[in-house]
Amino acid sequence: MSKKMIPLLFALISAFSQISSAGEFDASTLPKGRYLLKIYPKIFFASAGFDGEAKGANFAEVSGLTRIEFRFGVYRGITDNLMAGIILPLGYTRSTYSPDLRRERDTSIGLREIWLLVQHQWITLPVISSSSLRIKIPFTDKKDFEEGLRIGDGQIDLYPVYYFDWFTPVHIYLKSEIGYKYRMKKGDTKPSDEFRAVLQSGYELIPQVRLRLFTFSDYTRFFGGKDKGESVPGTSGYLYTIGYGVEIWPRPGFSMEMSTGGDFMGKNHFRGMRWVIGIGYLFR
């Protein structure tokens, strides 16, 4: 490779990485003074779970548990390497029961919490590396029939995350996310902490509109919760999700994403399917 080609190659990779901000979270930050709006409706459905021996089993009384969440996020570039944001997750939960029980379904809707986010980008070429801190401020507790869902328990969460995205000149890319969610006590109860690692790999099929196909794996480890200082059986465990999706930029500054995933391994947690439809718009 000639010496003249090396700067050009790095410039191409840099351009590819700087405009890569897709997905609800990634390593990119916004240019100073720019705003980004993201809307990410998410659907989760479960009718079974993983027991303490990591075996799948249907729910005894519940025929289906559905969680629909509309996540609205607004982000602003403070500097070219630092951004801040706020996320509003408006959620709806429905639980239906076996006809033999003759029990009406339970429903819940509302804004349970807000998330505040600050993110700093450390490296931009040829990889993007950044770290962020998300803080959850709760408004309400979950309902009794929602127990077991991975939604707020009415306590403050601190979630530091590290991102590492790598893009190549041949339009193959990798995205990774590693974080630890520390969940504070509320009264005598402390919910399980969560360690999470996500890996996404993809290929840009049509560079002109950044049409990307990707697969992902999501591993979460839960560390046992406590009640009055004592460990609570059944609150530790793990969950492993895999899935695939597609994203596209039909016009500059506007992105769309669709993905689906399923829980295929786990212990002491629900087993379900997940669907995501994401929209992002960059504006001043």
Predicted confidence at residue 151, as pLDDT, reads: 78
Predicted confidence at residue 206, as pLDDT, reads: 92
- Asked whether the beta carbons of 269 and 240 are under 8 A apart, the reply is no
Q: pLDDT tens for residues 153-200?
A: 788 999 999 999 998 889 999 999 999 999 998 888 888 899 999 999
Query: Both tokens of residue 58?
Result: 């249907």
CATH number of 250's domain: 2.40.128.130
193 vs 185: CA distance, rounded Å:
11
Which residue, among 140, 136, 34, has the nearest Cα to 82 in the 3D structure? 34
**Whole-Å CA distances, 157 to 89, 113, 133, 199:** 15, 10, 10, 23
In which domain, by residue range, is 271 found? 5-283
Query: Which run of H or of E encompasses 150?
Result: none
Predicted confidence at residue 179, as pLDDT, reads: 96
Query: Both tokens of residue 171?
Result: 């339009």
Q: pLDDT tens for residues 122-154?
A: 988 778 999 999 999 999 888 888 887 887 778
Predicted confidence at residue 22, as pLDDT, reads: 52
153 vs 132: CA distance, rounded Å:
22
9 vs 13: CA distance, rounded Å:
6
Q: How many domains does the chain contain in total?
A: 1
Predicted confidence at residue 144, as pLDDT, reads: 83
117-139 b/e (C-beta count within 10 Å ≥ 16 → b): bebebeebebbbbbbbebebebe
Which residue, among 266, 249, 265, 267, has the nearest Cα to 257 in the 3D structure? 249
The list of the chain residues with pLDDT below 70 reads: 1-23, 101-102, 228-229, 231-234
